[in-house]
Homo-oligomer: A and B are copies of this chain.
Amino acid sequence: MHDLAVQLNNILDSCVAGHLLSETGRRMYFPKGIAAQAAEAGRFAKVQNASVGMAVSDKSPMIIPALHSLAPKLNASDLVEYAPNAGDRRLRTLWKEMLVKKNPNLAGAEISNPTVVAGITNGISQIADLFIDPDDVVILPDLFWGNYRLIFDEKKQASLSTFPIFDGTHFNIDGLEEQLDLHKNKGKAAVLLNFPNNPTGYSPTHDEVREIERIVVGAADSGMHLLVVLDDAYFGLYYEDNVYDQSLFGLFAHNHENILAMKVDGPTKEDFAWGFRIGFVTFGGKGLSAQAYDALENKLLGAVRSSISSSSRPAQSLLIRTFLTPGYEDQKRVLRRQLFERYQTVKGLVRNIPSQAGIRALPFNSGYFMSFANPGKAEQLRTSLLHGRGIGTISIQGDYLRVAYSSVDLSSLPDLYEQIFKAAALNI
């Protein structure tokens, strides 16, 4: 193992992170190679910088004029230069400021700087590389984003340990507790929480969040080391007053020495920039020293360097400029308002599902989606909707039909749901 990795491990072994690193995570470090030397040169090479593998002319990167003309408000550096491995510093600072503002529950918490990654998928994948070994347990609700299976199960060979997401119309607190109990003897587990949830569009209420916190802290109290991963892809899209409208990261980032929390978020949905592939990974844990945060960031940077090197510069620059534009928050609010109106309409439409449809709407109160339970028939319903009626939906685990009402105009929603009810009635 490389000396630099050993040094980082020595730091992290004095806190919860040391118990949670995977074998790959233990080997990771950011080398003092080209990237580190180039970063050093960036600071000190005031006369000539012949360190970076770029083509530079008169202190500015060369750029093909046809390319530059497509985004003329960005200078050449902001458009084509390599971004730092951890992301543009301005973007990281802006994101952290907004993150703290959006989450008052972070008050008083020491957390890491957000590290830029190539989207939320990539953030989760980097975390899986650093913290998940074969046969590690990942606890999560049974309705989850399918890519988790590919990342954690197929690629990392971890064991996905699920519990039914709902107990009646509520988040299934007991299910979470049972899973944690079940794996207590292993001494460690990852807990993966995604609210607003994909595919159900459910976020826990204030009361439920208190219970989730109590259960997880209880497991930590009993001696388990817990990696709590918050996939906050749909953060901010909360439509009911009783929904907890902050990230659970703010709770777990500073509430127990046996818990290491990781927030994965990004502008993908928060800023309507799906294809940008920009995400952020932020660490938080009670009592973690500044040195431990640096070590965690360095591990993550090694994982980033060896998989993507850095994240897309034009996407980062466009975001920085957007965030700094006066009126940006208002413009975002206008779009979110449209999603809220769609939500309200859908709520009305599913209030009276014809009984002959034989489908049931799962609880939803946030995000992009709602899902119908249609046990054993969801895939058939999906294909009949698609090929019989030209309507695209997603079937999940054969038992659920996910409807992304976020992608359907308000005026088309009544017809969409009528078609779904009709197709379901014929699909019995």
**Which residues of A line the B interface, CB within 8 A?**
2, 5, 24, 27-29, 31, 33-35, 37-38, 40-42, 44-58, 61-67, 69-71, 73-74, 79-83, 118-119, 121-122, 125, 129, 145-147, 149-151, 154-155, 157, 198, 269, 271-278, 302, 305-315, 318-319, 321-322, 325, 327-328, 331-332, 335, 338-339, 368-369, 382, 386-387, 389-395, 402-409, 412, 415-416, 419
Contacts and interface: CB of A to CB of B under 8 A. Distances in A.
Contacts of A328: 64, 66
Nearest to A30: B150
B308 A118 contact: yes
B24 A313 contact: no
27 contacts: A34-B147, A37-B382, A45-B391, A47-B390, A48-B416, A49-B392, A51-B407, A53-B198, A53-B368, A54-B274, A55-B368, A64-B272, A66-B321, A69-B73, A70-B321, A71-B71, A80-B272, A80-B275, A119-B308, A121-B306, A129-B155, A154-B302, A274-B313, A275-B310, A275-B314, A277-B309, A277-B312
Contact of A338 (B62, B74, B387, B390): B62
Contacts of A64: 271-273, 322, 328, 331-332, 335
B306 A150 contact: yes
A284 B61 CA distance: 34
Contacts of A146: 31, 33-34
Nearest to A148: B306
Contact of A406 (B45, B54, B306): B54
Contacts of A273: 64, 67, 80
Contacts of A151: 306-307
Contacts of A49: 391-392, 407-408
Given A27-B154, A54-B274, A147-B309, 17 more contacts: A29-B154, A34-B146, A49-B407, A49-B408, A50-B405, A52-B407, A53-B269, A56-B409, A67-B318, A70-B73, A80-B275, A82-B275, A122-B309, A275-B310, A276-B312, A277-B309, A277-B310
A226 to B, nearest CB: 24
Contacts of A274: 53-54, 61, 80-82, 313
A126 to B, nearest CB: 9
Given A31-B149, A150-B306, A277 B311 contact: yes
Q: Which of A54, A81, A149, A277 has the most CB of B within 10 A?
A: A277
Contacts of A271: 64, 67
B407 A276 contact: no
A50 B302 contact: no
B2 A154 contact: yes
Interface hub of A48, A314, A389, A394 (most chain B Cβ within 10 A): A48
B408 A50 contact: yes
A368 to B, nearest CB: 5
Contacts of A125: 306-308
Contacts of A338: 55, 57, 62
B314 A318 contact: yes
Contact of A312 (B315, B415, B416): B315
